[in-house]
Amino acid sequence: MHHSILDLAPVPEGHGPAEAIANSVDLARHAEGWGYHRYWLAEHHNMPGIASAATSVLIGHIADATKTMRVGAGGIMLPNHAPIAIAEQFGTLATIHPGRIDLGLGRAPGGDMAVAMAFRRGHAADTFPQDVVDLMGFLGDPREGAAVRAHPGEGTHVPIWILGSSLYGAQLAAHLGLPYAFASHFAPDALEEAFAVYRQTFRPSAQLTKPHAMLAVNVFAADTDAEGAYLRSSMQQAFARLRTGRPGKLPRPVEDIEAELGPSLLNGVNHALRISAVGAPGTVRKTLAGFIDRYAPDELILTGQIHDHAARLRSFEIAAEVLRDLPEAAAA
Domain positions in the chain: 2-216+296-317, 217-295+318-332
What predicted TM-score, i.e. pTM, was given to this entire model?
0.94
Concatenate the DSSP letters of all residues of 241-286 into one string. HHHTT---SBPPP-S-HHHHH-HHHHHHHHHHT-SEEEESHHHHHH
Residue 125: pLDDT band (50, 70, 90) is low
For residues 183 and 191, what is the distance between their CA atoms, to the nearest angstrom? Answer: 8
Q: Return the pLDDT at 328.
A: 46
Task: Give the number of other Cβ atoms within 10 Å of residue 288's Cβ.
Answer: 24
Residue 271: pLDDT band (50, 70, 90) is very high
C-alpha distances out from residue 279 to 195, 230, 257, Å:
27, 9, 15
For residues 176 and 32, what is the distance between their CA atoms, to the nearest angstrom? Answer: 31
pLDDT tens digits along 10-33? 999 999 999 999 999 999 999 999
Return the bridge partners of 302, or none: 5, 217
pLDDT cut 70: percent of the chain above it: 95
**Domain 2-216+296-317, architecture per CATH:** Alpha-Beta Barrel (3.20)
Residues in the chain: 332
By CB neighbour count within 10 A (0-12 exposed, 13-18 middle, 19+ buried), where does 264 fall? exposed
